[in-house]
Amino acid sequence: MAYDIVIPKLGMTMTHGKITEWVKKEGDRVEENQIVFVMETEKVSYEVEALASGFLHILAGPGTKAAVGEAVGRLAETEEELARLQAETPGIDGAAEAVTATASAGKSQASAAGAGQGPRKKLKASPAAKKMAEAHRLDLSRVTGTGPGGRIVREDVEKALAAKTATAETAVPVEAPEGEVIAGKRVKTSIPLEGMRLTIAEHMEQSLKVSAQLTTMGEIDMGEMIRIRKAYLAREQEIGVRISFTDIIVFLLARALKDVPIMNSSLIGDQIIVWEDINIGVAVAYDKGEYDSGLIVPVVRNADRKSLVEISRTISGLTERARSLQLMPDDVGGGTFTLTNVGVFGRGWSMGTPIINQPEAAILQTGMIVERAVVKDGQVVARPMMPVSLTFDHRILDGAPVGRFLNRLRDLMGDMALMFI
């Protein structure tokens, strides 16, 4: 009896999954609980284990998007049963080879086109001309044929070699570049746009396409926040957690969103939906290699109902799972507002234009806290200032509610006693 390998349902909102890699090959012996393939949902990657033992027959190759519960492979109990399955339902080997061949051909053609050469045409040359060109390592595509129908003959090759020799005697020697060259530029490496990077690219592009995004910028005096955090750090053992600035900002954001509820909304169809739940996504970035990084947004659900300590523990747990690639779809779904803190990556005062995490109405970016000269009580003084950039969907929000929201957040950060009013 053969067992189906299906796309598992990882969360309430999950409907499909995409296969990114088969860890086991066609015909391999797979033991129960071994990882058999890797799939990704809209936002997370997940390793799928076999629920039984057997010999693997693959039905869907990498890149295939399948519905939850759909069979993408089968496990045969015996090699005889495997042979029968392979005969009844052909696997992906032939298709995979065709896809690979097509991709390789496309890449070669793209490289040639990028170098301004275009796809190669079939050359007509006499056997003698081909033999002489091969012996002298001459590219026949650069030789003009004078034979019938433009056929390259021996005399054409001799003339080309003579011209090449004359040029070489007068030209300054130039060392040929090593490796692949595209449009005159040497390639250091080539990184496929796939997996999480492809998902990020698609989401960012789609977000800009479907909404009218505008960014307003400013800065907030963080003197009170620094004082409060120092007090929390001094009582870290008693509190049980190490409170971060992100924890405090999420705590205050939830209160500001409650005071200006239109900021906690989405445009769905022709309706602006104002959400009762305040679920704040906290962007988490991490390195995946020398040339790649990951970005994912786990969600602190019902942040307005959580204490500061509860928010801190939630963010800590989500961040740890995000960086160890152990998040589930429900961990990253259902957000109503997003915070992205780029201050941990900078070394100075800077602002940006974050892109909205659809279908939310806005996203707040915070930067590095830097001492700057500001006017306070008529005097120029140095104050710890944090830049903020709020991108909002102008289809939903105008300047007035955005201004009220930022003013409320600025007031709360300047005097946290206001949150009790």
**Count of H helices and E strands in the chain?**
11, 21
Eight-state DSSP code of residue 328: -
CA distance 194 to 207: 19
Using left for φ > 0, alpha for ψ between -120 and 50, and beta otherwise, residue 70 falls in beta
CA distance 366 to 384: 13
CA distance 393 to 213: 5
Report the half-sphere exposure of 295 (CA within 13 A, side-chain side): 18
CA distance 3 to 88: 15
- Scan for tokens 């206001």, then name that residue: 418
Is residue 73 within 8 Å of 60, Cβ to Cβ? Answer: yes
199: phi then psi, degrees, rounded to nearest 5 = -60, -45
Rg, C-alpha atoms of the chain:
30
Catalytic residues: 394, 398
State the greatest distance between any 2 C-alpha atoms of the chain, in Å, as a whole number.
95
Using left for φ > 0, alpha for ψ between -120 and 50, and beta otherwise, residue 116 falls in left
Q: Is the dihedral of CA 54, 59, 61, 63 positive or negative?
A: negative
Strand partners, 281: 299, 338
Q: Is 177 helix (H, G, I), strand (E, B) or coil?
A: coil
